[in-house]
Amino acid sequence: MTANARSGRVIAAHGRHFLVDDGESVTECVTRGKKGGVACGDRVRFSLTHPGSGVIEEVEPRFNLLYRSDEFRTKLIAANVDQVLVVVAAVPLFREELLIRCLVACEAAGIPARIVLNKTDLPQTATLADYLKAYEALGYIVRKVSALGDLGSLEADLKGKTSVLAGASGMGKSSLLNRLVPEAHAAVGEISQALDAGRHTTTHARLYPLANGGALIDSPGMQEFGLKHLNPHELMAAFPEIRARLGQCRFHNCRHLKEPGCAVLAAAEGGDILPSRLRAYHSLLKEQKAPL
């Protein structure tokens, strides 16, 4: 590391290009060679190569990291955050599997998560709000908002914290961002009626300071959320309803698939666990292809 290296916070990450704010100016940085592994929100040490340009020398230790992974690559979302706000909506389509995977990733990373139910101005939202009471029973706060209405409750949630906006395309993240951070000027994408999905409008993670303190990281809209990095034990621990029944099954190494005397399966049969969440757990377990 060079002697003139300085410290800063990554406020934008796009591929191998990053914007780093050192409190006095913003520098466009790259990493050396093919080295990656830098996320929006990271604290880094960097050196100037030219005025306004630099190279990241070191990523300082993180206290958490939100990321997704599949068989081929790992995608870093944000680091050093206080909470994740998973934005959902009834229109164009509520993708519960994606919500579950986002929440599991947060649980595994030790990051508190809240569900933001957007578009409460639409009549279709009432049914989804009722369904999400099951998530409130699991301990998740569900904040009901409309990008067209009063966002006071959401602004109170964000005050003094570094938060991440996450969720599928078309859920209204950009509209919420434009209300919360007017200077962001995020593009609001049109909803593709043919595909019943939102068009991607955010292509990289970007951190915005908030007027009432704290910061908001806007992440790209996603259609999938791989969790290849989690082993079966970590998956079980990331589902509150499974974690709560740890040690209650007949077999100590129960995977909650079809074993006799399984407390999780019994709870599901009794209506105490959402079938959709149990299916998601089974799907994730199958993807791991790893023994307990």
Answer for the pair 206, 162: CB distance below 8 angstroms, yes or no: no
Answer for the pair 90, 121: CB distance below 8 angstroms, yes or no: no
Task: Report, as an integer, the average pLDDT of 226-243.
Answer: 95
pLDDT score recorded for residue 14: 86
pTM of this structure: 0.90
Q: Could you count the other beta carbons within 10 Å of the beta carbon of residue 196?
A: 11
- Rounded to the nearest integer, the mean pLDDT of the chain is 90
Residue 217 reports pLDDT greater than 70:
yes
Q: What angle do CA 285, 288, 292 make, to 5 degrees?
A: 75
pLDDT score recorded for residue 221: 81
Answer for the pair 41, 65: CB distance below 8 angstroms, yes or no: no
The DSSP 8-state label assigned to residue 147 in this structure reads: T
pLDDT digits (tens, 9 = 90+) for 101-156: 999 999 999 999 999 999 999 999 999 999 999 999 999 999 999 999 999 999 99
Which residue do the tokens 């990331």 mark? 238
pLDDT score recorded for residue 187: 40
pLDDT score recorded for residue 3: 59
Cα separation, 132 vs 117, whole angstroms: 9
H/E stretch holding 209 reads strand 205-209
Closest CA to 118 of 185, 188, 183: 188
Superfamily the domain 65-218 falls into? P-loop containing nucleotide triphosphate hydrolases (3.40.50.300)
pLDDT digits (tens, 9 = 90+) for 55-65: 999 999 999 99
pLDDT score recorded for residue 73: 86
pLDDT score recorded for residue 290: 53
Omega within 30 of 0 (cis) for the link into 291: no
C-alpha distance from residue 182 to each of 9, 89, 156 (Å): 22, 22, 17
pLDDT digits (tens, 9 = 90+) for 147-201: 999 999 999 999 999 999 999 989 999 899 999 998 887 544 332 333 344 444 4
pLDDT score recorded for residue 200: 40
pLDDT digits (tens, 9 = 90+) for 249-274: 999 999 999 999 999 999 999 999 99
Common-topology check for domains 6-59 and 65-218: no
Ranges of each domain in the chain: 6-59, 65-218, 232-288
Under the banding of pLDDT at 50, 70 and 90, the label for residue 291 is low
Answer for the pair 218, 203: CB distance below 8 angstroms, yes or no: no
Query: Does CATH number 1.10.1040.20 belong to domain 232-288?
Result: no
CATH assignment, 6-59 = 2.40.50.140
Which residue do the tokens 């959902």 mark? 88
